[in-house]
Amino acid sequence: MPEATSDEGRATAMGTKKPANTTPASTEAILESISDGVFTVDRDWNVASFNRAAEEITGIPRREAIGRPCSEVLRSNMCGDHCPLQQTLTSGRPIIGRSGYFINADGDRIPISISTAVLRDSGGTVIGGAETFRDLSEVEALRQELNGKAHVGDLTSRSPVMQKLFAILPAIAASPSTVLVLGETGTGKELVAHTLHDLSPRSRRPFIAVNCGALPDTLLESELFGYKAGAFTGAAKDKQGRFALAEGGTIFLDEIGDITPALQVRLLRVLQEKCYEPLGAVRSETTNARVVVATNRDLTALVKKDLFREDLYYRINIIRIELPALRHRKEDIPLLVDRFIDRFNRRQQKAVTGISTEALSLLMTHDWPGNIRELENLVERAFILCTEGNIDLAHLPGELLPHHPATAGKSNLRTVRSTVDAQAIQTALERNGFNRLAAARELGIHKTTLFRRLKKLGIPLPVKDGRNRR
């Protein structure tokens, strides 16, 4: 192979030792024809041969790779102290299918699996090593397509809305801008704030969470900004505020919609000028903590009612994350339940294997006003009753069967079916303004069947009559 020969000559000319690719022509032909990247190194870790697939996968021409240190050619996360080829040459044992990535010239991380082997001459002397690597980009892409990227940090979701959020979360984390997280109670606002912190370059610095709704105004002020000795009766010595504690890190202000107008002014100044005065201080202090705020209240409505400062609203509404309620992402319930079961198994040393289909179906019919927190509490409650095997209907609270008191306590598929039916009928009625004919049409059943089902399921006829709504 002329090209290989010239490369060998070039490598020798570059001052490297005799290359280890003393392979017969047939072997080289085989290496050229396979789809896995293969390269060999000499005893000085310089690349001695580099096959066609290696050129294609790495985007590096053979003439540039030959004679260069293998770590500067492959540029893998395994290069360095964890080099698999070095481990093979030290131990004499091959490594098969170790996963990692290399960085191509565009800065993309390309997933690969690596296998290594020792190269010996006819006398058994080690003359170098061989490394085979396989591009896993397509496999990884297919895997992600099948599974979706269900986890980012501690966040778990497969819902399209959350997937969009997962895609932009790293970029938001990288930015130092203030983030506003909106969502109903229990949707995981603090978890999002924590994930933003963990993904950011500030992750080694503190994450400080403050619930603004839990403290009275004066206490919250000293809690946030700290105070100096003598600032008030009982202030015997200086106390650092949460902003000072979060220096270089992230401060999370939950329930921001609950703070008073006076504190809103002080907070506005911190966000605008990055400085504040602790109580009793005569000099300002600066802060570089990243601010993430959250609320379950409608801030625009509060602004209209003059309960929330408009300028503060615009100052915190730079990057806005809206978390959907669990009832709008019910496809996540199985995933979240699995996650909670894993967590409680670890915490409580139990061996709960999962959840039965009937119990899961019941969870899917619930509206979850308390969102993920409510679901977590429900799984925790089920763990009290269930120590091993699957969580079943018997382990779930009776209030999940609101429309069927007659079947309370019975744990079977019929119960679940009835609950699902009742839920569907109720939703259809509500959506059609309690017009029974329209609801029946939406459900694909006759009006008489609807009445029969209502009676059978024990659902009282709605007081509101939608017949005259049009």
Partner 1 sequence: MKTAFPYWRHRIAPVFDTARQILVVTSDAGMTTGKTEVTLADGHPTAKLLPLVELQVDSLVCGAISSQVRQMAVFYGITVVPFIAGDLDAIVRLWLAGKLAGDANAMPGCRRRWGRRSRDASLENVAPEELKAQNEPQDRLRIARHGRHSACQAAARRRKI
- Residues of this chain that interact with partner 1 (CB under 8 A) are 58-61, 64-65, 68-69, 71-77, 79-81, 102-109, 170, 174-176, 198-205
Distance (Å) of CA 75 to CA 3, 34, 142: 24, 22, 24
The minimum distance between CB 141 and partner 1, in angstroms, equals: 11
* Residues found in the chain: 470
| CB-CB contact of 238 with 226 (8 Å) | yes
Q: Given the complex with partner 1, which of 78 and 210 has the nearer CB atom?
A: 78
Q: Given the complex with partner 1, which of 72 and 217 has the nearer CB atom?
A: 72
The minimum distance between CB 109 and partner 1, in angstroms, equals: 5
Q: Given the complex with partner 1, which of 170 and 354 has the nearer CB atom?
A: 170
Q: Given the complex with partner 1, which of 205 and 381 has the nearer CB atom?
A: 205
Q: What is d(CA 65, CA 85) in angstroms, rounded to the nearest whole number?
A: 17
- Judged on CB neighbours under 10 Å (0-12, 13-18, 19+), 412 is exposed
The minimum distance between CB 30 and partner 1, in angstroms, equals: 24
Contacts 24+ apart (CB under 8 A), 306-313: 307/261, 308/257, 308/264, 309/261, 309/264, 309/265, 309/268, 311/268, 312/264, 312/267, 312/268, 312/271
Q: Given the complex with partner 1, which of 147 and 175 has the nearer CB atom?
A: 175
Paired tokens of 469: 């709504």
Q: Given the complex with partner 1, which of 100 and 278 has the nearer CB atom?
A: 100
Q: What is d(CA 409, CA 374) in angstroms, rounded to the nearest whole number?
A: 21
15: left (phi over 0), alpha (psi -120 to 50) or beta: left
Residue 160: enclosing H or E segment and its boundaries? helix 160-174
Going by the DSSP 8-state scheme, the letter that residue 121 receives in this structure is -
The minimum distance between CB 244 and partner 1, in angstroms, equals: 17
The minimum distance between CB 14 and partner 1, in angstroms, equals: 12
- Judged on CB neighbours under 10 Å (0-12, 13-18, 19+), 235 is middle
Identity of residue 174? A
The minimum distance between CB 70 and partner 1, in angstroms, equals: 9
Look at the alpha carbons of 87, 88, 93, 98 in this order and tell me if their dihedral is positive or negative: positive
The minimum distance between CB 198 and partner 1, in angstroms, equals: 8
- Judged on CB neighbours under 10 Å (0-12, 13-18, 19+), 42 is buried
The minimum distance between CB 315 and partner 1, in angstroms, equals: 20
The minimum distance between CB 80 and partner 1, in angstroms, equals: 5
List Cβ neighbours of 224 (8 Å cut-off, separation of 6 or more).
210, 241, 242, 243, 267, 276
Q: Given the complex with partner 1, which of 69 and 397 has the nearer CB atom?
A: 69
Q: What is d(CA 116, CA 216) in angstroms, rounded to the nearest whole number?
A: 64
Q: Given the complex with partner 1, which of 166 and 434 has the nearer CB atom?
A: 166
Distance (Å) of CA 277 to CA 71, 180, 450: 52, 24, 66
Q: Given the complex with partner 1, which of 52 and 75 has the nearer CB atom?
A: 75
